Structure 1
Amino acid sequence: MSGARANHNGAVRGACPGVAAPMASGDGLLLRLRHPIGGWTPAQVGAVAQVAEEYGNGALELTVRGNLQLRGVRPATLTGAQNALVAAGVADSDPDREAVRNVLAAPATDLDPDAVTDITPVARAVADGIAADTALHRLPAKTGVVVDGGGVTGIACVHADLRLDAVTCDHGGLRYRLSIGGRGADAVPLGRVAPEQAAVAARRVLARLLDDDPPRRMAAALAERGVAPFQDALAELAEPAGTVPVPAVGPPAPGVAPHGAWVHAAFPFGALNAAQLRQLAVVAERHAATGGTPTLRLTPWRSVLLAGVGVAALEPLAALGVITEPADPRLGLGACVGAPGCASGTTATRNDALVLEAAMPALLAAGERLHVSGCGKGCGAPACAAVMLVADGEHYAVTLSGGIAAAPDWPAAPLAVVHRRLMALDAVFARERQTPQETLNDLINRLGRDGVVRRVEEEDWHA
């Protein structure tokens, strides 16, 4: 993987961390387990919990790429942690193979009656093919691939360098639609291939990123060279892609699936500890469907699907602190680990986010999101949040309906000032919103950004 630099502890800076190549952070070494296509068994989950407890500080994080991070591993215990994770079958011992295994699969297409097909076999073939192709080990860090089958757990909302979306053709056949540099609705289409050709097609497209020296991510390559080189890579494999975009659906609601095939368990900020993870496995085994084998599947919504588990699991999950109610306002809160867990973080981001929750009830009830970042790097930040806070020292700059790099609408200010400002924003949103479907971004588009900012400042002044 290009861009990696290891220190004397084997930790990597400047690349996407893993297990074989961990990353140094403020609370020790961070080990990232790659997205497990098809999920883990309860025994594997228990093994991960044991490693987090024995070799780390017990803190774990679910990520927006469907990965799981173990925090606080000590250099002296690193080898033991690595060996235990490889032995459990949840990690790759080869850092080069691990570094390119960035394939995110829709988590429950085998159980979802609304999915086009079960994409798990194709997703595994794509991931294994990329890992086995040594030429592709030069891909830029974080080059991401999505394999999606639509349905309730579809992941059309996830941005990827390369997407493979299962689609049904007019003649009834199944194909995978390859597109690059975007989400399901806006990625640039390349063509459609048969399922048995999907893994080869994916490698051919990714190989075109290596034509640049050094290789670049897809967005930069598209901007510089256009789509033609990537279409040419599929010349004899693909048929026309068609023009219908893949529709985006929201994440499935926490709780039991409508057809009872899984329980969707979310955690505030995607953070949990080893004891909670171990108990997830216990709950899955105790409440598995008769004759079934439960699996625990990581999602890009920083949550876990307990597949093959039913309604009886809700009570013990709630006792663990799991979010199982769709209206829980904590679902709208996001934050990086912040200080002291991250050396770059300057604020206690998650504590601050919980404080600010009370300032924006109308926004959170409408499904809007608040994200708090402890520095300007924006680790784990969404592409766009209704309210984005970026720490500057002990203060926060505030951006409405923007990403981590967007110009702030208000400069950095103390938390108390930000709290008051968000209360004013919430009041303006509740008063000015014309329909229940109108989002904050819609409001900004209708009234103008300056108009919304002015109304918030007037509300704050009169409060």
Structure 2
Amino acid sequence: MTQGREHGPRVREACPGVVAPMATGDGLLLRLRHPIGGLDPEQARTIARVARRYGSGALELTNRANLQLRGFTAETLPAAQEELARTGLTDADPDREAVRNVVASPVADVDPEAVADVRPLARALAEAITASPALRELPPKVGVVVDGGGRAPLGDLPADVRLEAVATAAGLRYRLAVGGTARSAAVLGRVTVEGAVPAAVAVLERFRALRQTAAEPPRRLAEAVDRFGTEPFEGMAGLEPVSGAEPVARRPAAAPGDFLGRAPQGAWVGAAFPFGALSADQLEGLAGLVEAGSGGTLRVTPWRTVLVIGAGPDALPALEALGAISDPADPRLRVSACIGAPGCDAAAAATRTDAPTLADAAADLLERGGRLHVSGCEKGCGEPAAAAAVLTAAADGYTLNVADGSAEPLQTGLAPEAAWRWLAALGRVVASEQRQGERVETTMERLGKSTLAARVRWEVGHGG
């Protein structure tokens, strides 16, 4: 944490909040941590009013299910913070705010396929973490996932600590795992509902203790497991062993399109926005879709969508009128881009200006299930883990990377027009080589970097 200019706001270099925002190219950025259980209509309207009155009116949905408000100044910040505090969604202490990184399944309470409603447990865990002075010393990116399963599982969302609901012969249990996704995390065992919060806190406390004794403290639990194994986190009281195949890891991955439109049984109506960016007016419009007296809320998801619980029968036409994406087949769902220039001082390109045209070039990739991400710098903010192609801006142009299992770029120094040609050529190569039922990423891995690069380069020079 650093100080801003004299008498200015307290500013974070990374992982901003509301109490400690982040300075960006378009002003101060405020991040509301994941609202477990969603925003009620009045909270959403307050956020929209604050964004419009004191900021630029621009908001963003993040891939950690947070909500960001952009364009504040040192002069408008205090009033914005005061109004947001009245929603009950913020922390007065920036150190508490920094570690309140608990993401819960967004609709486990209304999804008949969910294993359990995890909201009470997730809230209790968030409170336990922020109440601990010791845990406030954790690196600010350390986060926890509480997964209720069902139609909106969080298996592909990486986390330092995972609590995943499992139905067993002995009743509801939570699989406790560390350092990754549902498939890659190291499983420590199972815990009861009552033991879940103490067990997760104990893992985080041991991680903190490990950091204090390590010559080079690991920043995340995945790094700690890679270096020291799971032994430092084992042996906790009440931990039940896990044997045999684990159903959590076999849950199908979720994608933004899975939640759009009206869900079965009308449990929710889902909306997305290009690049996860929406305006204060659009957020206020979403709040207006919640029927009076329904007890409905707006659920912010890690797929950069908003799910409206308690929406009326005319919600779908209303979403279209708001400019939201409600069609799961809309190709814009497979394209992401960071804020880019001028919104970010670190960005070397206006990514959201370039991205729509680049998406047209990547049509073959997108139609075959691939994702495109356009990043303004090498930090890769907002980059989805499943991106098949990533364009990263630098001073000399875009660098094109593909999901072929290697870190070596396919090409560097691409002007936007050249990046267009390379993406189009990449799509043609994938289209000609992809096997039935094969994922785009698998096709690239099978071809290998040298063959893929040679084929794409030929297509750039000779293709259509």
User: Which residue is equivalent to 1:424?
Assistant: 425
The residue that corresponds to 1:250 in the other structure is 254
Preserved CA contact (<8 Å) 1:34 1:101? yes
Distance 1:215 1:423 in 2: 40
- Tell me the secondary structure at the aligned position of residue 134 of structure 1: coil
**1:450 to partner: Cα distance:** 1.7
Deviations 1:176-225 (A, max 9, x none): 11100010111100111111111111110001121113563112221222
* Cα distance, 1:59 vs structure 2: 0.7
Give the TM-score normalised by structure 1.
Answer: 0.94
Report the counterpart of residue 271 of structure 1 in structure 2.
Answer: 277
CA deviation string 1:376-404 (max 9, x = no partner) = 1111112341110100126100001169x
2:78 counterpart of 1:79 = yes
- Structure 2 residue identity aligned to 1:7: G
Q: CA RMSD in A?
A: 1.6
Q: How far apart are the structure 2 equivalents of 1:10 and 1:178? A: 39
Following TM superposition, by how much is the alpha carbon of 1:310 offset from its aligned partner in structure 2, in angstroms?
A: 4.9
- The aligned counterpart of 1:205 is 203
Q: Which moved more, 1:88-97 or 1:148-157?
A: 88-97
**2:117 corresponds to which residue?**
118
1:255-274 Cα distance to aligned partner (Å, 9 max, x none): 11122100111010000111
- Residue in structure 2 matching 1:303, options 302, 305, 309: 305
Partner of 1:372: 374
Amino acid at match of 1:361: A
Structure 1 stretches of 4+ with a deviation exceeding 6 A read: none
Aligned to 1:260: 266
Equivalent position of 2:399 in the other structure: 397
Distance in 1, matches of 2:90 and 2:120, equals: 19
The aligned residue for residue 176 of structure 2 is 178
Within-5 A mapping of 1:7-26: 7-8=4-5, 9-26=8-25
Determine the C-alpha separation between the residues in 2 that align with 1:392 and 1:11: 30
* Residue type of the alignment partner of 2:290: A
TM superposition shift of 1:237: 1.8
Paired residues, what number? Answer: 451
What is the aligned partner in structure 1 of residue 352 from structure 2?
Answer: 350
In 1, Cα distance between equivalents of 2:179 and 2:100 = 18
1:6 to 3, 8, 33: 3
Identity of aligned residues (%): 50
Asked if the contact 1:262–1:310 (Cα under 8 Å) also holds between the matched residues in 2, the reply is no
Deviation at 1:432, TM superposition (A): 1.7
Is the CA contact (8 Å cut-off) linking 1:178 and 1:241 kept in structure 2? no
What SS does the aligned partner of 1:175 have? strand
Q: Does 1:224 align with 2:227?
A: yes
CA-CA distance at 1:17 after TM superposition: 0.6
CA distance in 2, matches of 1:130, 1:165: 18
Q: Distance in 1 between matches of 2:179 and 2:380?
A: 20
**DSSP 3-state at the match of 1:385:** coil
Q: Say if 2:462 is the partner of 1:462.
A: yes
Offset from partner CA, 1:9-39 (integer Å, 9 cap, x none): 2343344110011111111111000000000
CA contact (8 A) 1:11 1:24 kept: no
8 Å contact from structure 1 (residues 185, 248) kept in 2: no
TM-score with structure 2 setting the length: 0.94
Using the TM superposition, give the Cα deviation of residue 248 of structure 1 relative to its aligned residue in structure 2, in angstroms. Answer: 3.8
Instruction: Say which is worse superposed, 55-64 or 441-450, in terms of deviation.
Output: 441-450
3-state SS, counterpart of residue 408 of structure 2 = coil
- 1:323 is aligned with what amino acid? I
Deviations 1:308-366 (A, max 9, x none): 22552011111111000011010011010000000111211011110111112221122
Aligned AA for 2:458? E
Checking the alignment, whether the CA contact within 8 Å between 1:383 and 1:402 is kept in structure 2 is no
Relative to structure 1, is the Cα distance of residues 331 and 177 closer, same or farther in structure 2, using a 3 angstrom cutoff? same
- For 2:299, the aligned partner's letter is R
Partner of 1:293: 295
Gap runs ≥5 in structure 1? none
Is contact 1:386–1:400 with CA below 8 Å preserved after alignment?
yes
Q: Secondary structure at the match of 1:167?
A: strand
Is 2:158–2:181's contact at 8 Å kept on the other side of the alignment? yes
Measure, in 1, the Cα distance between the counterparts of 2:328 and 2:368. 12
Cα distance in 1 between the residues matched to 2:259 and 2:86: 34
- 2:278 alignment partner, SS class: strand
